[in-house]
Structure 1
Amino acid sequence: MNITIVAGARPNFMKIAPIIEAIKQKHLEGFNINFRLIHTGQHYDKNLSDTFFEELNIPFPDKNLGVKSGTQAEQTANIMIGFENELHDNPCDLVMVVGDVTSTMACTIVAKKAGIKVAHVEAGIRSGDMKMPEEINRIVTDSLTDYFFTTSQHANNNLLKQGVRENQIFYVGNVMIDTLRKHEVHLKQPQIWQDLSLKKGKYLVMTLHRPSNVDEEQQLKSLIHKIATIAKDYPIIFPVHPRTKNILEGLNLKYSNLHYVSPLGYLEFNFLVKHALGVLTDSGGITEETTVMNIPCITLRENTERPETCEIGTNILVGNDMEKIERALSLLLNASWKQGQIPELWDGHAAKRISNYLVEIFDL
């Protein structure tokens, strides 16, 4: 059995790493299972792509489609053209996609039109927000997928409501947590730790990249002003996404406690998260990592496709409501944050469950 695994952006790399390891183990055990790794090139900053292959011991891709940036339509079209050529030259029995980035949707469409079955890892999650490109990617991908590997009961229920048959849904847990658990002991201090003499629990980490927060200049200025002003006694470490950097350059936002840094590798970024007082973010994946590491997380979004991080985890949604942001920061700075728990099956063994199911599904 030959599987083509697709990665396109930073979160994908963290999800495929344990899956590749589990597939390799099955191969060593004598099962007829092989993989070919395709990197679409959707994220092309070295710290958002190559570094993750190096740090997480992922084999470098068999093919990089080199798509890079562009509009949603341009990027989707270029991925589809490149991936169609890839499948023509290297036929496979299954295409495995992960997450909800443009590459996930585009490669799913190409595979299905080529008559190849698709497995979607992290299937079924929904935010209900159709303004998010990722939500459209999720819906399109799951409308075509054959095998759904899910992270939560919420995801299972979403798929059942969509009409997916129970025997197509495989509740395996969260592969991103597999990667976190494996590499937690290898986290390393970034240079900014020494440069600013940071101390555990005495600083904040912030990430922003979603259009609803960064595309409108006044909105971005208001957000940063509110956060930096309230957290005045705490350094804020802000690894700047390439997309956000282009917008920030024209705003000249300077606060004594706000420190812009270049995108960090996986081990350095999670070192900062693990030792922070708290995290402010509009990322979905980071809310999963903070929940497992028991780090308070303030999510600058109106909704989430990972409700379990709010229901039992350490996450609170505040959107861009300035009063909610102020209340959440007050809870954080006054050591009054809620106590979180780790969701079911977020135990570091999701990829093993996936490989076991693949062997079972395809009778290897």
Structure 2
Amino acid sequence: MKFITVLGARPQFIKAAPVSRELRKRHEELIIHTGQHYDKNMSDIFFDELHIPKPDYHLGIGSSSHGKQTGEMLSQIEEILLNEGPDYVLVYGDTNSTLAGSLSAAKLHIPVVHVEAGLRSFNKKMPEEINRIMTDHVSDYLFCPTDTAVQNLTNESITDHVYNIGDVMYDAVEYNRKLAEDKSDVLNVHGLTSKEYYLITVHRAENTDVKENIEEILNAFKEIPEPKVWPIHPRTRHVIEKLGLNLDEIPNLHVIEPVGYLDMLTLESHAIKVLTDSGGVQKEAYFMKVPCVTMREQTEWVETLESDANILVGTDKEKILNAVKKDVYPEYKTIFGDGDASSKIVATFE
């Protein structure tokens, strides 16, 4: 059978890598990269180091408004699907690329396969939530990472071809953890000592685009005396500079350029705690058994909240500081599968 996979952001390539490895043992797969997120690390070395198949189509659409970006993707993806005639279109997660890929296929009556289906933050102000919901409702096969995700779909009367197969991101972390140990030198490069620093990531628009929120977050960072490492997203840096805020006022803060996936796994695994607003980083911290402080009001990964493995704090300065200072001894359960989600997905089509 012939699959076309639609991807648009680096995390999606990382999730897709273990699935592609299994898929290509038995089937044909072509990859469309929409170009939704430009990343200078998305070069040949990125694909070679992580053993990720290179895209067959690169649309180069880039950043734009949600409507314009999604519309351009729809037009170009439809043309490719008409020319290639796949049996299935495979999409991941909740980006505009996910939505465009699923809608293009659905309108051409090509079955849609959604990996990471059923996640809900129940906050429709987040564009990701709209993308998730719409993709799930046009999908023909829905592969969920957790029981909670399955229940979310049941609550929306989606019950056919719904599977809890575990989390493909866990597959990816397990595969790449050893590569990171062998290849990453990020601690030495930045003079870091294991378990003596906090790791920060901030990129979501609801945090960076609201001055009061980003100011509150930065004010919290000022009162954390320990070393803090922040591989800063270019957009976040730009917003902070535009608002006239000064990162130099934060003591012991090491602002570094964005890092590759292997370096990020290393930084996560050796941190005291992770402070983030990223859905993926929340899970990776859980996989690495590193406590996480999530600067959002909701999380799709509600399972991580058990035993304070992950603490939701929003952007409230005092809540952030209390969570950072809190001694936690989480119980990390096997709730994201056994690292074989990819093979279970492929087995469904045998």
Structure 2 length-normalised TM:
0.94
One-letter amino acid of the structure 2 residue matched with residue 328 of structure 1: A
Matches within 5 A, 1:242-253: 242-250=234-242, 251-253=245-247
1:345 offset after TM fit, Å? 4.4
Counterpart of 2:112 in structure 1 is 118
2:216 is matched with 222
Gaps of 5+ in 2: none
**Alignment partner, residue 344 of structure 2:** 353
Residue in 2 that maps onto 1:68: 62
> Is residue 55–residue 266 contact of structure 1 (8 Å, CA) maintained in 2?
no
Contact kept, 8 Å, 1:76 with 1:103, in 2: the verdict is yes
Deviations 1:11-42 (A, max 9, x none): 211110000011123x2xxxxx2111111111
Aligned partner (choices 96, 101, 105) of residue 99 of structure 2: 105
- Deviation per CA, 1:134-182: give whole Å up to 9, x if none: 00000110110110000001000011111112x4101100001101001
Q: Choose which of 222, 232, 235 in structure 2 pairs with 1:240.
A: 232
Confirm or deny: 8 A CA contact 2:273 2:324 kept in the other structure: no
- CA shift at 1:274, angstroms? 0.5
Q: Cα–Cα, structure 1 residues 313 and 182, in superposed 2: closer, same or farther, change >3 Å?
A: farther
Shift of 1:51: 5.3
Indicate the residue corresponding to 1:341 in structure 2: 332
**Cα shift at 1:312:** 5.6
1:30 corresponds to: none
Identity of aligned residues (%): 40
Give the 5 Å matches for 1:111-260: 111-165=105-159, 167-187=160-180, 193-229=187-223, 231-232=224-225, 234-250=226-242, 251-254=245-248, 255-260=250-255
Displacement, 1:75?
1.0
Distance 1:249 1:195, change over 3 A: farther
Distance 1:48 1:289 in 2: 20
Question: TM-score, normalising length from structure 1?
Answer: 0.91
Question: Which letter does structure 1 place at the counterpart of 2:64?
Answer: G
- Give the alignment's Cα RMSD to 1 decimal: 1.7
Q: Does 1:264 align with 2:264?
A: no
Contact persistence 1:312–1:342 (CA under 8 A): no
Q: Say which structure, 1 or 2, has more relative contact order (CA 8 Å, 6+ apart).
A: 1
8 Å CA contact 2:296–2:314 kept in 1: the answer is yes
CA contact (8 A) 2:220 2:318 kept: no
Q: 1:228 to 1:48 in 2, by over 3 A?
A: farther
Name the CA shift for 1:345/1:107 in 2 (closer, same or farther; >3 Å): same
- 1:244 CA drift (Å): 1.0
Q: Would the alpha carbon gap of residues 308 and 257 (structure 1) be closer, same or farther in structure 2, given more than 3 Å must change?
A: same
Give the alignment of 1:81-92 within 5 angstroms: 81-92=75-86
SS in 2 for 1:329: helix
Worse overlay, 186-195 or 83-92: 186-195
String of CA shifts for 1:39-96, please: whole Å, max 9, x gaps. 1111111225765423321121000111111111111111111111111221101000
| TM alignment of 1:298-313, pairs within 5 A | 298-311=293-306
SS of alignment partner, residue 43 of structure 1? coil
Q: Please give the per-residue CA displacement for 1:274-298, whole angstroms capped at 9, x wherever unaligned.
A: 0111100001111111111100100
Whole-angstrom distance in 1 between the partners of 2:49 and 2:222: 32
Residue 313 of structure 1 and its aligned partner are, at CA, apart by 7.0
Residue 164 to residue 268, structure 1, CA distance change in 2 (3 Å): same
